[in-house]
Amino acid sequence: MKHVFRSGVDPDAPTLLMLHGTGGNEKDLLPLARILSPDSAVLSPLGNVRENGMPRFFRRLAEGVFDEEDLLFRTKELKEFIDESAEKYELDRKQVVAVGYSNGANIAGSLLFHYPGVLCAAILHHPMVPRRGVALPDLSDVPVFIGAGRNDPICAPSETDELQRLLESAGASVHVHWEHAGHQLTRAEVEAASRWLRDTFKTV
Based on the residue annotation, tell me whether 152 is a catalytic residue of this protein.
yes
Query: Residue 120, CB half-sphere, CA atoms under 13 Å: how many?
Result: 13
Catalytic position from the list 102, 114, 126, 177: 102
Catalytic position from the list 3, 70, 175, 183: 183
Catalytic position from the list 40, 152, 177, 194: 152
Which long-range contacts link 190-199 to residues 24+ away (Cβ below 8 Å)?
A: 190/32, 190/35, 190/36, 191/35, 192/145, 192/147, 193/36, 193/99, 193/123, 193/125, 193/145, 193/147, 194/35, 194/36, 194/37, 196/123, 196/145, 197/36, 197/37, 197/97, 197/121, 197/123, 197/145
Active-site positions read 102, 152, 183
